[in-house]
């Protein structure tokens, strides 16, 4: 009975429900049934069909934004350099045009503004448009007031420069907010590119991972049409393979995930040598490139409650539990390091974890993701399979391996893995 809801979300925002899990959709439907005082799911469906506002409400109940300021900080450092080069190419004949889509609650477009101001650009030399399908998140973005969860990592000097404290919240300076034009729009809207001038920089990160392959390709083509000749596109770590395989060329600057059209001018050649990638000291030993890991795109699987230590009968059991606790804690540290851009430390933590705690599904998943991000699909596939050997229903490994198989034309294998991943998400919620 949920299939028609899935199809509606697919038509409206291109969402592949398998990417977030059936449990997320079912929970959103229950929330909206209660909020609208509908008698049952059938009655809610009829109301949904008759109300565009309720369709927006369902979208907002399904889409749970996860973002923070200066996520992937190296990409913002590179943006400032590319912007200076781009202005020089244009001979300052017009302001730079930049778009962030989807912009969620505003952390990304506001980070763009702060990065450019800190990079020495005059406020009048650029303008930023920020689009999202959710009116609710746009309202949050327009207020410009954020909690502590929007500030992560160790480099928080920008918070002192651009925010004022209001109790336990932080209000963004008007000088930053006024540089961003917030708009409700859908990247799949056919008229989006035809009604806009092309952009020098397009930010679209961690969106395509939620789409099926046809919708991914459709969206990528729409993004290409938004990009001006010689412009740059910023994407998410897990989407780099898709871009490389479909007419986009990476600039080759580590941790930035920046692409240009394959036939565009060689923008990367204008960067200074210090901006270019260099080998990580652990890369040869780990057979992994110097690239970052990413935030897991799927909701983390709940960890089953562990028995109290007092209930264990043997020292062996205590040692096993202690090892499991240590592995979970270290994997959380690795993810936190990666998300804050401290990739070298994350790699050292991975190496140390393998040496001290031995192999685990979670660790092999992270190794797979490192290779996946760098486009080393063979290595990534091997690591994902190792993770699945140790934990056959590891949802994230199943989902990423499915994407690799699909890219290689193995549609049957990809569907089988996605079905297993969907079962895993649903079972974890029971």
pLDDT digits (tens, 9 = 90+) for 296-337: 333 333 333 333 333 334 444 444 445 566 677 788 887 776
Q: What is the DSSP string of 143-163?
A: HTEE-GGG--SS--HHHHHHE
Question: What residues pair up with 96 in beta bridges, in sequence order?
Answer: 126
Tell me whether strands 163-166 and 169-172 are parallel, antiparallel or unpaired. antiparallel
Angular region, 390: left φ>0, alpha ψ -120 to 50, beta rest: alpha
Sign of CA dihedral 43, 44, 46, 51: positive
pLDDT at 127: 96
Q: How far is CA 230 from CA 74, 200, 224, 260, in A?
A: 20, 7, 11, 7
pTM: 0.60
Give SS3 for 346: helix
For the chain, domains (ranges, CATH) are: 3-62 (no CATH), 73-275 (3.40.50.150), 283-300+323-428 (1.25.40.10)
Residues 116-155: tens digit of each pLDDT? 999 999 999 999 999 998 888 899 999 999 999 899 877 8
Q: Which of 101, 72, 94 is nearest to 227 (CA)?
A: 101
Distance CA 45, CA 40 (A): 9
DSSP code at position 360: -
Q: What is the 3-state secondary structure (H, E, C) of 94-124?
A: CCEEEEECCCCCCHHHHHHHHHHHHCCCCHH
Asked whether residue 61 carries a pLDDT value surpassing 90, the answer given is: no
Tell me whether strands 96-100 and 199-203 are parallel, antiparallel or unpaired. parallel
- Report CA 255 to chain centroid distance, whole Å: 13
Q: Choose between 211 and 94: higher pLDDT.
A: 94
> Which tokens hold the place of 395?
């949802």
For the residues 33-48, what does the mean pLDDT come to? Answer: 92
């Amino acid at each position: 009975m949920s299939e028609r809801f899935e199809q509606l979300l697919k038509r409206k925002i291109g969402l592949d429900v398998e990417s977030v899990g059936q449990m997320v959709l079912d929970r959103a439907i229950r929330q909206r049934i209660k909020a609208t005082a509908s008698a049952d799911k059938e009655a809610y469906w009829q109301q949904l069909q008759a109300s565009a506002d309720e369709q927006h409400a369902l979208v907002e109940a399904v889409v749970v934004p996860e973002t923070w300021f200066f996520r992937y900080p190296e990409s913002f450092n590179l943006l400032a350099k590319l912007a200076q080069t781009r202005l020089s190419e244009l001979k300052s004949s017009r302001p730079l045009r930049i778009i962030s889509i989807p912009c969620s609650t505003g952390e990304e477009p506001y980070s763009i503004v702060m990065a450019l101001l800190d990079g020495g650009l005059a406020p009048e030399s650029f303008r930023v448009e920020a689009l999202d399908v959710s009116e609710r998140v746009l309202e949050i973005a327009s207020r410009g007031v954020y909690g502590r969860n929007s500030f992560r990592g160790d480099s928080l000097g920008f918070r002192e420069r651009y925010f004022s404290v209001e109790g336990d919240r932080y209000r963004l300076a008007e000088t930053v907010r006024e540089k961003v034009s917030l708009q409700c729009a859908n990247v799949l809207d056919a008229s989006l590119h035809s009604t806009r001038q092309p952009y020098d920089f397009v930010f679209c990160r961690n969106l395509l991972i939620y789409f099926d392959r046809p919708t991914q390709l459709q969206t990528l083509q729409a993004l290409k049409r938004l990009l001006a000749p010689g412009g740059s596109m910023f994407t998410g770590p897990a989407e780099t393979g898709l871009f490389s395989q479909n007419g986009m060329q990476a600039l080759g600057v580590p941790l930035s995930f920046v692409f240009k059209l394959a036939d565009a001018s060689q923008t990367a050649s204008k960067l200074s040598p210090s901006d270019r990638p260099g080998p990580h000291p652990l890369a040869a030993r780990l057979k992994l490139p110097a690239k970052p890991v990413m935030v897991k795109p799927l909701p983390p699987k709940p960890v089953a409650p562990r028995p109290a230590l007092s209930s264990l009968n043997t020292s062996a059991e205590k040692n096993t539990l202690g090892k499991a606790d240590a592995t979970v804690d270290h994997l959380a540290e690795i993810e936190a390091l990666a998300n804050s851009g401290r990739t070298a430390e994350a790699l050292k933590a991975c190496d140390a974890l393998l040496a001290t705690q031995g192999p685990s599904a979670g660790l092999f998943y992270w190794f797979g993701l490192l290779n996946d991000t760098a486009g080393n699909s063979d290595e990534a596939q091997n690591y994902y399979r190792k993770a699945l050997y140790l934990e056959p229903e590891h949802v994230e490994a199943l989902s990423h391996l499915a994407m690799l198989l699909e890219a290689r034309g193995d549609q049957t294998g990809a569907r089988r893995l996605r079905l297993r991943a969907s079962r895993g998400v649903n079972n974890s919620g029971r």
